Amino acid sequence: MSLETKDVRKAFGGVVALDGATVKFREGQVNALIGPNGSGKTTFFNCVTGMIRADSGQITYAGQDITRKAPHAIARAGVGRTFQLCRVFPRMSALDNVLAAVRPGGLLGGLRGARHRAEVDRARGWLTRLGIEHLIDVEARNMSWGQQKLLELAGVLMGEPATVLLDEPAGGVNPALLDRIGTLVRELNAEGRTFVIVEHNMDLVMSISDHIVVFDRGRPIAEGPPSLIRTDERVLGAYLGV
């Protein structure tokens, strides 16, 4: 499903975070959104997913205007999202975290209601696919940072989103888990999911991305395949000041 923005602007007081961001991410591909610290990447994700409201501009997904929609409505439309800082329930088991992630009533809905076999089996399946099935009964607070990131992603995938936004999936993750995340993204993309990834780890970005958008000062300055982005003078200038 196509995700597009047109002239999206967002300011916090006198600080302009997004300055007319017009972007079109490619459906069915692994897209990356990169840029220096403070370039507006996470603010962009927050606007797209309804966590904050853009001051102006338009955001569309699958041809529908989602600019003013609430986060739960955007999620139901098919957009899933992880965060820089994992959003998991620390005192709940891995299985309950994944089940709670898709319950209409949130946390309480995840703990009450009919936990029928098909739903539990599907949650177990995602934990297995992400390689953390051995932690199924472990509370999230007793997991490593990387394991919590995988748990958060399992909850997102439980909602079966067509488009997945990953906010710095490599942050604080050891190399083995990082390889697992990269492999999983490519596998899920091959199965039809679109990805948009905010990431500072350029090795990961260049190895798994089909299309890269580069932000600087709240707007895109370059886009294209990794082979072009590596040598783009505007990108080198943004990152290195050359």
* Mean pLDDT to the nearest integer, 139-161: 94
- More confident: 111 or 35: 35
Domains of the chain by residue range: 1-78+194-242
Beta bridge partners, 56, equal 9
- Longest Cα–Cα distance in the chain: 59
For residue 111, pLDDT over 70 is answered with no
For residue 153, pLDDT over 90 is answered with yes
pTM: 0.90
For residue 114, pLDDT over 50 is answered with no
For residue 219, pLDDT over 80 is answered with yes
What is d(CA 100, CA 154) in angstroms, rounded to the nearest whole number?
Answer: 11
For residue 46, pLDDT over 70 is answered with yes
- Output the DSSP codes for the chain: --EEEEEEEEEETTEEEEEEEEEEEPTTSEEEEE-STTSSHHHHHHHHTTSS--SEEEEEETTEE-TT--HHHHHHHTEEE--SS----TTSBHHHHHHHTT-TTHHHHHHSS---HHHHHHHHHHHHHTT-GGGTTSBGGGS-HHHHHHHHHHHHHHT--SEEEEE-TTTT--HHHHHHHHHHHHHHHHTT-EEEEE-S-HHHHHHH-SEEEEEETTEEEEEE-HHHHTT-HHHHHHHH--
Q: Write out pLDDT tens, residues 74-99.
A: 999 999 999 988 899 999 999 999 99
* Mean pLDDT to the nearest integer, 94-107: 76
Q: Residue 177's pLDDT is what? A: 84
Q: Write out pLDDT tens, residues 131-142.
A: 999 999 999 999
What is d(CA 115, CA 17) in angstroms, rounded to the nearest whole number?
Answer: 42
* Mean pLDDT to the nearest integer, 151-179: 91
- More confident: 86 or 8: 8
For residue 214, pLDDT over 70 is answered with yes
Q: Residue 103's pLDDT is what? A: 59
For residue 242, pLDDT over 50 is answered with no
> Average per-residue pLDDT in the chain?
90
Q: Residue 232's pLDDT is what? A: 85
What type of residue is 21?
Answer: A
Mention every residue, 6+ apart, whose C-beta is less than 8 A from residue 198.
Answer: 32, 33, 34, 41, 42, 45, 165, 166, 167, 168
CATH 3.20.20.70 fits domain 1-78+194-242: no
For residue 117, pLDDT over 90 is answered with no
